[in-house]
Chain A
Amino acid sequence: MQNNRLASLLKEAVLTFVISLILFGPISGLVLDGFGFRNELGRSVTLAAIITAGRVLVSLAGMSEIGKRLRSRLTSSNSGVTVNTGQERSPLLPLAVLFLAGLALPFFADKYFLGIAILALIYCLLGLGLNIVVGLAGLLDLGFVAFYAVGAYLLALGYQYLGLGFWSALVIAPFLAGLFGMVLAFPVLKMHGDYLAIVTLGFGEIIRLVLNNWLEFTGGPNGAPVPAPTLFGLEFTRTAKQGGVPIHEFLGISYSGDYKFWFIYVVLFLVVCAVIYAVHRLRVMPLGRMWEALREDEIACRSLGVNHVFTKLSAFMLGASTGGIAGVFFAVHQGFVNPTSFTFFESALILAIVVLGGLGSTVGVVLAAIVLTILPELLRDFAEYRVLVFGILMVVMMIWKPRGLVRLTRPAFFPSSHSEAGIALRLEPQTEAGR
């Protein structure tokens, strides 16, 4: 037994060494020197040795008692779905604490951190929106950024041409983005999986290219300015620009650029909470159940009389609406929009948030959005390796947690203890009738 382990460890070490030598050999072992090569193979051998040592250490750690326990805890969650028993403690108290802590954040955070928090919340919104489409309804959408752009440009262009402000844009954005969602959804109703992904990918690019090339309307690559938000006619700029009163004059305090971000943060936080609540309610409503059923088996759904057209349309439109709202916040936070903010990379990042969070899991999506926005900031010390480390972390997360950070929990509709009593009650009249 001991020998066996040792042999497998040795085999693993040799394999790691050889593979890393092949990988690093040409990259760091051969150095271009004028027109010839300089041989620096010693360097790549050292690198390979370091990697091998690391691999052996990981294996040894995995064999120890603590490692074993850690590993079983990390991998035990592969089975997928947990079902609530209905006897969980009510999460109301921790939720309330979390809510108040979130609201109080601007009083503790500095401007830099608040900026990251706003970005994280915007990605939360985007993730929650895409989660409806991909996580719940199972429709792979690679062009989600289009709706984000629609929301952002609604505010920018609406201000420019129609004089729309932040609040009116916030109200109109979900409807306009929802309309765009419907435009996309109609032609793709009969598509599944890969085909659907390609069409949505194309849709996302079309929106971006139109924004980029319709110079006279959108300003093209030059972008468009976005007005600062207002609160009951009070403005957050140093001097009034939209015919109101600057808020610092109104309150008789000195001007600070931070007020605007405090305001955006608080409104955004409330909207995110509202969306989380809405999604939570939807999941236990017939519509939410139909989305999930459609994801599992469309044929069975249709035989049960589910209107698949309506179900798919509603998923697309509600997802798009949420994306549109996120766009408005993005625009008002940046104070300026241009098409480079709405590339395919954004769509991929939002999809990564949904998949990493655990398809369909609201808590997971929120966590993943926060992790994926804060992680790049924490990695700033690594400068140019940032994206590399980011990528590696995503790969590692997917290996350890293939079903996402947070496992999907199924709602328990009828608490076991109560329903047993309930059934007994219901059975009594029947038995009497039987006599």
Chain B
Amino acid sequence: MSTTETTAGPLLQFESVHAHYGPVEALKAVDVQISKGEIVSLIGANGAGKTTLLATIFGAPRTSSGRILHRGEDISTLPTNRISRRGIALVPEGRQIFQDMTVEENLMMGTTPIGMGHFEEDRAQMFDLFPRLKERRSQTAGTMSGGEQQMLAIARAMMARPELILFDEPSLGLAPLVVKRVFEVLAEIAAMGKTIFLVEQNANHALKLSQRAYVMVNGRIHLSGESAALLDNAEVRKAYLGLH
């Protein structure tokens, strides 16, 4: 894990990024900055382009114009597997764990970018963070509950010792109590010194957890600023928090 990075400037930066799905423009001149150690959240309605924004980091879809800079280097043309080796991990939407593989095998898959060198140590750390996974270590992942699967997806991403973790809707389809637990875990992960970019529909939780936030509407960044300020913003309260 690289703890001291000499490169100045943001860890990850979108520079007027455009992306298309066929003729449909999904991202329109998006500018986003994430600095090391921050928790940044991205909120917005269904179909606003939040997931697309995350997906362009991994090159699917590729950007049609603009640059994505990671530590000052453009990564928008790199192959997907090289990007994950730069210390960026994704916890995909809908969890996407390997259902027929055991919990431990899922964790092993997470080590792909860095190899099995630290496996024992990192697994012990993950089992501390998620005691349920330890209980279910040799169970096939598909037999676990939704919340447990989400925990596994997070643990799997952590196994690559990433510096920056992208979370795509980690609270999707989970019971309220489990959602609360997921956000507690996110806070714990941030306390370990990881940088977090969180895409969420659950604006309330996301804004309370993060330091800064972006609001996305129709493929554009509509609002941005301190999360605390956005929580008080009249428009955000009305559109995303259901308050008046």
Query: Is there a chain B Cβ closer than 8 Å to A249's Cβ?
Result: no
- B91-119 interface mask toward A, CB cutoff 8 Å, 1 = contact, 0 = none? 01000111111101100111011001000
B120 x A303 contact (CB < 8 A): no
Residues facing B in A274-320 (CB within 8 A) are 286, 289-290, 292-293, 296-297, 299-308
| Cβ distance A209 to chain B, nearest Cβ, rounded Å | 37
Binds B, one of A54-62, A78-86, A105-113, A332-340: A78-86
CA distance A305 to B84 in the complex (A): 5
Residue of B with least CB distance to A80: B100
CA distance A175 to B172 in the complex (A): 48
Query: What class of interface size applies to chain A in its complex with B?
Result: 20 to 34
Do A304 and B102 form a contact, CB below 8 Å, given A85-B138, A299-B96? no
| Cβ distance B114 to chain A, nearest Cβ, rounded Å | 9
A289 x B108 contact (CB < 8 A): yes
B80 x A286 contact (CB < 8 A): no
Residue of A with least CB distance to B141: A296
A300 x B96 contact (CB < 8 A): yes
B58 x A296 contact (CB < 8 A): no
Query: Is there a chain B Cβ closer than 8 Å to A75's Cβ?
Result: no
CA distance A286 to B107 in the complex (A): 12
Residue of A with least CB distance to B82: A305
B113 x A83 contact (CB < 8 A): no
Query: Is there a chain B Cβ closer than 8 Å to A423's Cβ?
Result: yes
Among B81, B104, B112, B127, which residue has its beta carbon within 8 angstroms of that of A286? B112
CA distance A300 to B112 in the complex (A): 12
Query: Is there a chain A Cβ closer than 8 Å to B211's Cβ?
Result: no
CA distance A408 to B79 in the complex (A): 33
Residues facing B in A74-129 (CB within 8 A) are 80-81, 83-86
- B136-147 interface mask toward A, CB cutoff 8 Å, 1 = contact, 0 = none? 011110000000
A423 x B102 contact (CB < 8 A): no
Q: Which residues on B sit within 8 Å (CB–CB) of A81?
A: 100, 140
Residue of A with least CB distance to B116: A286
Do A303 and B109 form a contact, CB below 8 Å, given A83-B102, A85-B138, A296-B101? no
| Cβ distance B146 to chain A, nearest Cβ, rounded Å | 16
Do A302 and B58 form a contact, CB below 8 Å, given A85-B138, A293-B98, A414-B104? yes
CA distance A297 to B105 in the complex (A): 14
Query: Is there a chain A Cβ closer than 8 Å to B124's Cβ?
Result: yes
Residue of B with least CB distance to A426: B124
CA distance A80 to B141 in the complex (A): 13
Query: Is there a chain B Cβ closer than 8 Å to A46's Cβ?
Result: no
Q: Which residues on A sit within 8 Å (CB–CB) of B121?
A: 426
Q: Which residues on B sit within 8 Å (CB–CB) of A422?
A: 120
Among A83, A296, A408, A416, which residue has its beta carbon within 8 angstroms of that of B98? A296
B110 x A304 contact (CB < 8 A): yes
Q: Which residues on A sit within 8 Å (CB–CB) of B81?
A: 302, 305-308
Q: Which residues on A sit within 8 Å (CB–CB) of B80?
A: 302-303, 305
CA distance A56 to B216 in the complex (A): 65
| Cβ distance A310 to chain B, nearest Cβ, rounded Å | 9
B100 x A408 contact (CB < 8 A): yes
CA distance A10 to B143 in the complex (A): 40
Q: Which residues on B sit within 8 Å (CB–CB) of A80?
A: 100, 140
A304 x B160 contact (CB < 8 A): yes
CA distance A292 to B99 in the complex (A): 10
B100 x A303 contact (CB < 8 A): no
Query: Is there a chain A Cβ closer than 8 Å to B70's Cβ?
Result: no
Do A289 and B109 form a contact, CB below 8 Å, given A83-B102, A296-B101, A303-B90? yes
| Cβ distance A418 to chain B, nearest Cβ, rounded Å | 12
Q: Which residues on A sit within 8 Å (CB–CB) of B137?
A: 414, 419
Query: Is there a chain A Cβ closer than 8 Å to B241's Cβ?
Result: no
| Cβ distance B160 to chain A, nearest Cβ, rounded Å | 7
Residues facing B in A232-266 (CB within 8 A) are none
Q: Which residues on B sit within 8 Å (CB–CB) of A427?
A: 124
Q: Which residues on B sit within 8 Å (CB–CB) of A290?
A: 109, 112
Residues facing B in A173-223 (CB within 8 A) are none
CA distance A301 to B157 in the complex (A): 11
| Cβ distance A425 to chain B, nearest Cβ, rounded Å | 10
A289 x B105 contact (CB < 8 A): yes
Q: Which residues on B sit within 8 Å (CB–CB) of A35?
A: none
Q: Which residues on B sit within 8 Å (CB–CB) of A85?
A: 138
Query: Is there a chain B Cβ closer than 8 Å to A393's Cβ?
Result: no
B156 x A304 contact (CB < 8 A): yes
Do A305 and B113 form a contact, CB below 8 Å, given A299-B92, A299-B96, A408-B100? yes
CA distance A115 to B28 in the complex (A): 69
Do A305 and B85 form a contact, CB below 8 Å, given A81-B140, A286-B112, A413-B104? yes
| Cβ distance B244 to chain A, nearest Cβ, rounded Å | 39
| Cβ distance B101 to chain A, nearest Cβ, rounded Å | 6
Q: Which residues on B sit within 8 Å (CB–CB) of A392?
A: none
A-B contact pairs, 26 of them (CB 8 A): A83-B102, A83-B138, A86-B138, A289-B101, A290-B112, A292-B98, A292-B101, A292-B105, A296-B98, A296-B99, A297-B96, A300-B92, A300-B96, A302-B58, A302-B80, A303-B58, A303-B80, A303-B90, A303-B96, A304-B110, A304-B157, A305-B81, A306-B81, A306-B109, A307-B81, A423-B134
Binding site for B on A (CB under 8 A): 80-81, 83-86, 286, 289-290, 292-293, 296-297, 299-308, 408, 410, 412-414, 416, 419, 422-423, 426-427
Closest 4 CB pairs of A and B: A305-B84, A300-B96, A305-B113, A303-B90
